[in-house]
Structure 1
């Protein structure tokens, strides 16, 4: 039975679809993104009946306004949402069926040239300058956050697992357990970083819970990811000569990955630390940047 989509039908399933994503234990930032993408998708249609051609028109619109990577992320979310609606209307929805079901409304992702290296990554010397600036200006919370990112390679959404309890346990366990997309992994903890984090907690009189509590909420919850990003950007802005495009948490993750491999680690070990399910995602860090390739070419002598 083929389901004919309508705007009102799609709209009626948005909340249910998002709730299903919440139950799948996705990060709050992820399902908030899903809600925005799906809501914008439904609002795009100016008539009740929705045909495949209308979805293609939507795709053309986002292609004109976003990068290929963002467009493909949107398409993946939209395809997932449309499958959810169709299967529920048929009374056949379950997670197994959703993985194999192919919708007639399915949009194709855009082929993107595979990246061979990571560009615009913060350099170790820039990292040191930002740490120094944060310390000198009394921004110790941002200093400690940047240190965690730079020496662990975690995602900003995983910072919440760096609690006083978990830091203390890492003395015997040698790692901190984090969760992402329902998957558990162990991130090695350096002894010097552990000691510095515990000294920071003692100085701030933080005896339990997150090391970085929100002063606004005053309920023990951690500062928001957006606050973390803004504070890192602020410190970068104080450091003359460092490109602001590098001032984001993921840049520290890239830097950590590159330095881990340079220090003798291998891609398999790094994939486990970073939580990559596909080794190809990790191997990109083994490739030199365009700038490094240029330097290598210039070293050739005949």
Structure 2
């Protein structure tokens, strides 16, 4: 297992992904032992499908197949479950709720969370990427990341957000280090950010189900595609490897579909 772990890091996988892959392989070993066979693998897939959501099952299958390749297993590779996408986006914060949250935080002088919200919605960053913004990256106007496969991705900070963030950091005497920290110089945990956003939502009477880090990433994509129809460019900005992943943002949210139906149908 240690050799597999080293192999994953050599391939450029993140710590989170490595931990996820190791968990999936250990789960396989706990269920079937060390005697691998095609029948055993298929039975394990059936067990996964009976216990977990399709998305989780597919993540475990990807990890297991990677392990089978690593050990040069001379047998099958598991096929992913087919996931039927919803014809709408669900639990995405609306533009009005985003603006209410943003403006309320600024009005109350809660600038830390004000900029958390603005960075998420203004850059499309994942929560793991938000944690990597530094004072230097704000000064530069972008954050460069190396993703899976050693691919370089640049997250741009819009000019208005960059200007406001530089002013805030200067005012607080921040000259270096990570932007969103808890105590000391360590970035706030993903859980800490998620819980903090929920508290902000509760304070201002906004539905907590739509206030979570990835919801603002959805909001970024929805707003971008409404103003710039270049879906290939949006896919690059968001770090999607497939355009099919990005196409979901061409769909309306459930509430937008509801409003369109109500506005259209009067018979």
Q: Same fold (TM over 0.5)?
A: yes
Structure 2 residue aligned with 1:28: 15
SS of the residue corresponding to residue 162 of structure 1 reads: coil
Q: Contact between 2:194 and 2:212, CA under 8 Å: does it hold in 1?
A: yes
Q: Contact between 2:92 and 2:253, CA under 8 Å: does it hold in 1?
A: no
SS of the residue corresponding to residue 154 of structure 2 reads: strand
CA change 1:241–1:213 in 2 (3 A) is: closer
Give a deviation string over 1:21-79, Cα, whole Å, max 9, x none.
Answer: 1222222222122222222221122x553332222232222212211111111111111
- Report the Cα distance in structure 1 between the residues aligned to 2:62 and 2:103, rounded to whole angstroms: 41
- Report the Cα distance in structure 2 between the residues aligned to 1:130 and 1:179, rounded to whole angstroms: 32
Count of equivalent residues: 265
- Report the Cα distance in structure 2 between the residues aligned to 1:223 and 1:290, rounded to whole angstroms: 32
Question: Which one of 111, 120, 127 corresponds to residue 140 of structure 1?
Answer: 111
Q: Contact between 1:133 and 1:238, CA under 8 Å: does it hold in 2?
A: no
Q: How does 1:1-302 map to 2 (within 5 A)?
A: 14-45=1-32, 47-86=33-72, 103-135=74-106, 139-170=110-141, 175-181=142-148, 182-215=150-183, 218=184, 220-242=185-207, 244-298=208-262, 299-300=264-265
CA change 1:32–1:135 in 2 (3 A) is: farther
Give a deviation string over 1:188-220, Cα, whole Å, max 9, x none.
Answer: 3222211221122123321012112341xx3x3
The RMSD of aligned alpha carbons is 2.3
Bigger RCO of structures 1 and 2 (CA < 8 A, at least 6 apart): 2
- Report the Cα distance in structure 2 between the residues aligned to 1:235 and 1:20, rounded to whole angstroms: 41
- Report the Cα distance in structure 1 between the residues aligned to 2:37 and 2:104, rounded to whole angstroms: 55
CA change 1:140–1:75 in 2 (3 A) is: same
The alpha carbon displacement at 1:286 in A equals 1.0
Larger radius of gyration: 1
The alpha carbon displacement at 1:284 in A equals 1.3
Q: Contact between 2:93 and 2:216, CA under 8 Å: does it hold in 1?
A: yes
SS of the residue corresponding to residue 72 of structure 2 reads: helix
Give a deviation string over 1:96-121, Cα, whole Å, max 9, x none.
Answer: xxxxxxx5242221112244432211
**TM-score scaled by length of structure 2:** 0.88
Moved more, 254-263 or 22-31: 22-31
CA change 1:17–1:137 in 2 (3 A) is: farther
CA change 1:212–1:289 in 2 (3 A) is: closer
